[in-house]
């Protein structure tokens, strides 16, 4: 972990070995109206859920190997279909769009009309054997059905990638479907920087990524936002660029890990090695890395985000304990110090 002036004396005591919770998530005066989200696998399903449920305030989403919104319909029996694992039976984007429209009419999610101006990046690797291409194709179909403008919808499906978040120079070989689900791939003769592709599609022109980051990765106490029955880990992570330490209205990007990819399983690899921080450093973006761990209560042995209902039937609307927690984290970051 990097040193940071954001740490309090209590946090330094924790670092010295005193048993205590991680420090509180700081108030940094962020611009909550410029919040975006992305994720891999279960994190991609969660990113889609947040984008749809909170479309009035989330400006864009990056969905890497994730199926369409509310695909599992509160039943684990549909998860294989939603992951594209059932041959010739892809998810039906029209059914999912109709569900979203119904939820909006019941005021369980934000009005669907907000989605037309949101910017969506979707990715499917040709060698992905976990969430297969037909599932991601249905995700793209869903966003078309709910009115996302064609020019706002990017679909990348021409890399021979496995099930992974893709970087230019770190991780497994491109076609791997293996821990830590971070792989390096090339496109057009150069490394494919997926974090940059996602952030660039959502926010438009960005300054080049920092060659060496100058910000800090800090731990924070997630129990301020949800109890352990939510499935959230005790500790989450935040990348704070140097330019964002003094309330400079930085944007917020929420990067959501996949199954078996929290810090409990892969250490710092997701929050330090996936490329988001380098782009954040030079573009005044706070990167929030919320965490879900493996657990027996709720039953979540692989540490997945809830996209089928293990936290309850409201998992995909504003009643979701996990989504409410993430949005409360964003709200905390937006508060003035």
Q: Catalytic positions, please?
A: 41, 128, 163
Of 63, 36, 46, the C-alpha closest to 140 is 63
Of 124, 122, 108, 107, the C-alpha closest to 185 is 124
Sorted by sequence, the CB contacts under 8 Å of residue 142 that are 6+ apart come out as: 48, 68, 69, 93, 96, 97, 100
**Distance between CA atoms of residues 24 and 96, nearest Å:** 37
Burial class (CB in 10 A: 0-12, 13-18, 19+), 177: middle
Strands 35-40 and 58-64, bridge-based pairing: parallel
Q: What single DSSP character describes residue 228?
A: G
CB neighbours (10 Å) of residue 15? 13
CA angle 314, 117, 103 (to 5 degrees): 20
- DSSP string covering 303-327, please? ----SSSTT-TTTTSTT-HHHHHHH
- Find out whether 138 and 71 touch, Cβ atoms under 8 Å: yes
- Find out whether 158 and 127 touch, Cβ atoms under 8 Å: no
Element (H, E) at 239: strand 235-240
**Distance between CA atoms of residues 133 and 131, nearest Å:** 7
Q: Coil, helix or strand for 155?
A: strand
Burial class (CB in 10 A: 0-12, 13-18, 19+), 276: buried
Q: What single DSSP character describes residue 129?
A: S
């Amino acid at each position: 972990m990097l040193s940071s002036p954001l740490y309090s004396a209590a946090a330094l005591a924790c670092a010295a070995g005193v048993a205590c919770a991680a420090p509180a998530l700081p108030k940094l005066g962020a611009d909550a109206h410029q919040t975006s989200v992305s994720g891999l696998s279960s994190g991609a399903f969660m990113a889609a859920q947040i984008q749809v449920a909170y479309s009035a305030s989330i400006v864009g989403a990056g969905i890497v190997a994730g199926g369409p919104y509310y695909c599992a319909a509160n039943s684990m029996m549909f998860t294989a279909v939603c992951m594209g694992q059932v041959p010739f039976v892809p998810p039906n984007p029209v059914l999912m769009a109709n569900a979203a429209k119904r939820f909006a009419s019941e005021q369980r999610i934000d009005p669907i009309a907000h989605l037309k101006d949101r910017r969506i990046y979707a990715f499917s690797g040709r060698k992905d054997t976990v969430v297969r291409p037909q599932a991601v194709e249905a995700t793209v179909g869903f966003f078309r059905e709910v009115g996302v403008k064609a020019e706002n919808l990017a679909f990348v499906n021409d890399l021979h990638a496995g099930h992974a978040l893709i970087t230019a120079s770190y991780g497994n070989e491109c076609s791997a479907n293996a821990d830590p689900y971070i792989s390096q791939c090339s496109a057009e003769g150069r490394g494919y920087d997926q974090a940059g592709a996602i952030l660039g599609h959502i926010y438009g022109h960005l300054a080049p990524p920092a060659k060496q980051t100058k910000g800090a990765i800090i731990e924070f106490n997630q129990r301020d936002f949800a109890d352990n029955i939510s499935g959230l880990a005790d500790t989450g992570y935040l990348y704070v660029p140097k330019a964002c330490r003094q309330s400079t209205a930085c944007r917020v990007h929420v990067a959501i890990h996949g199954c078996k990819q929290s810090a409990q399983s892969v250490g710092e690899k997701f929050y330090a090695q996936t490329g988001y921080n380098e782009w954040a450093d030079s573009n005044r973006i706070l990167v929030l890395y919320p965490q879900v761990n493996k657990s027996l209560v709720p039953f979540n042995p692989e540490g997945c985000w809830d996209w089928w209902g293990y936290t309850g039937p409201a998992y995909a609307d504003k009643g979701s304990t996990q989504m409410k927690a993430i949005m409360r984290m964003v709200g905390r970051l937006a508060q003035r110090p």
